[in-house]
Amino acid sequence: MNVIVVGAQWGDEGKGKVVDLYSAKADYIVRYQGGNNAGHTLVVNGKKTVLHLIPSGILHPGKTCLIANGVVFDPEVFFEEIESLVQSEAFRDHSGNPTQPHHVVRVSERAHVILPYHRTLDQLRENHASKLSGAGGKIGTTGRGIGPAYEDKVARRGIQVIDLLRPDVLRAKLKRTLEEKNVLMKHHFDAPLLELEPLFELCLRLGERLRPYVADVRGVLVHALQHKKPILFEGAQGTLLDVDHGTYPFVTSSNTVAGGALTGSGVGPGVPVQVIGITKAYTTRVGTGPFPTELEHVDPELAQKIRKIGAEFGATTGRPRRTGWLDLVALKYAVEVNGITGLALTKADVLQNFDHIKVCTSYRLAGNTLYELPSSGEDLEKVEPAYEVLPGWGSYNPREIHSPADLPQELRDYMRFIEDFLHVPIVLMSTGPGREETLVISDPFQAS
């Protein structure tokens, strides 16, 4: 069996830890969308590693990590991560000397490249938009050039990894794209013009360094599927940040939903797969955009308490995350749009010793009760959450949890409430931040 892991909320659900755990069971781990806007924080043996681009499976010896065609790939960030992994002793040859992980990391020839001008444009756009408000206003992007790189891809003026290895093609493509960009730079942003030659040289250097990592990733996956090797598709961001199905326009520029794993890696829909949606026991969001259960304006102290206990600060930008109660209307939508077959519940430990826990089960809008997520972002901005109030649970020691029966009864009731509402089982529960603080209820790789 193969597994797709997706964020079921607005990202930052704790996917890194679940992916890390599932990586042990897969032979291939694939990033299929997004780029280094993601940030997976892993705690292994008390040591923290943050990865933005390379699949977190890299920390498991013997696995092949693939960056597929759907990713927007920043080569400079890639090499920074490779270097930090090499420095952190993740890769050693037989004599114990540092070595480059060419053999275990592969980058698709078809992935689109993030170049310095994408980052510049991302930041210029956000600065420009910060003068406006509402749907035309600032999105609160990570500033990593993700949106502009996807724009170029869809507009058919992007640079692909394969182009970095073909100087003639590269020069022609860069020339064409810079001509257009410079009109924007000059007339819209009043910013310095982009120069072709230094950029061309940079691309050539990056391409040469990248050469040993470049592969036909789709072909690698076909081979893996033919040999029934288990594959883990590692989603980034979250369902509600999907460019088609999220809270548009306050979204990222890729398909974060499970379907993105297929188009983003070149695998067909007949693949046997389980879809695991990761959700926190509450909700967070970074950046702007609607967030019905947000606590900031209702109970700022509680919002801050959850942020503090949950260490809710972005792994990529360090920004404080907005916090709120669990939103089951949004989660039900995520179950439907991804075809989620099992849930992984994270960070219930953050809510320990709360008197009561609220769960949003419907919205109120203009006198009506809504049980579905409205399509209009303006409506979603206006909805009032309607809550069920459940009893809180006391404290527990994550290291003493070996089966669901070891969890406090109130927490088990909370989990049951979620399962009954969504008609999806919780297959994994993270009881604390460490790799070992995890309760595996059932194994999706063994599902029939």
Binding site for ligand IMP (CB under 6 A): 11-12, 37-39, 139-142, 144, 146-147, 236-237, 241, 250, 252-253, 286-287
Residue 258, Cβ density class (10 Å: 0-12 exposed, 13-18 middle, ≥19 buried): buried
Beta bridge partners of 320: 313
12 is catalytic: yes
396 phi-psi bin (left φ>0, alpha ψ -120 to 50, beta other): beta
Q: Is the dihedral of CA 400, 401, 406, 412 positive or negative?
A: positive
Least distance from ligand IMP to the Cβ atom of residue 40, Å: 8
190 is catalytic: no
The whole-angstrom separation of Cα 60 and Cα 357 is 37
Least distance from ligand IMP to the Cβ atom of residue 255, Å: 12
State which amino acid sits at residue 221.
L
Residue 61, Cβ density class (10 Å: 0-12 exposed, 13-18 middle, ≥19 buried): exposed
Residue 271, Cβ density class (10 Å: 0-12 exposed, 13-18 middle, ≥19 buried): middle
The whole-angstrom separation of Cα 6 and Cα 277 is 5
Least distance from ligand IMP to the Cβ atom of residue 253, Å: 6
Least distance from ligand IMP to the Cβ atom of residue 100, Å: 27
Least distance from ligand IMP to the Cβ atom of residue 141, Å: 4
Least distance from ligand IMP to the Cβ atom of residue 144, Å: 6
Least distance from ligand IMP to the Cβ atom of residue 212, Å: 28
The whole-angstrom separation of Cα 389 and Cα 355 is 10
The whole-angstrom separation of Cα 178 and Cα 159 is 12
The whole-angstrom separation of Cα 198 and Cα 349 is 51
Least distance from ligand IMP to the Cβ atom of residue 258, Å: 17
- What the block records as the tokens of 391 is 């009893």
Which residues have C-beta within 8 Å of that of residue 274, sequence separation ≥ 6?
A: 1, 2, 3, 4, 341, 342, 444, 445, 447
Task: Tell me whether residue 3 or residue 146 sits nearer to ligand IMP (CB atom).
Answer: 146
318 to 37, 78, 370: CA distances (angstroms): 12, 20, 34
Task: Tell me whether residue 217 or residue 241 sits nearer to ligand IMP (CB atom).
Answer: 241
Half-sphere exposure of 78 (CA within 13 A, CB side): 29
Half-sphere exposure of 392 (CA within 13 A, CB side): 14
Least distance from ligand IMP to the Cβ atom of residue 373, Å: 17
Of 20, 40, 242, 245, which residue is the catalytic one?
40
Task: Tell me whether residue 140 or residue 434 sits nearer to ligand IMP (CB atom).
Answer: 140
Query: ω before 249 within 30° of 0 (cis)?
Result: yes
Element (H, E) at 439: strand 438-440
Task: Tell me whether residue 207 or residue 264 sits nearer to ligand IMP (CB atom).
Answer: 264
Residue of this chain nearest to ligand IMP (CB atom): 287
Task: Tell me whether residue 72 or residue 350 sits nearer to ligand IMP (CB atom).
Answer: 72
Helices (H), 227-327: 259-263, 300-309
Which residues have C-beta within 8 Å of that of residue 283, sequence separation ≥ 6?
A: 9, 10, 291, 293, 294, 323, 324, 325, 326, 327, 330
Task: Tell me whether residue 28 or residue 250 sits nearer to ligand IMP (CB atom).
Answer: 250
- What the block records as the tokens of 441 is 């209820």
Q: Which residues form the catalytic set?
A: 12, 40
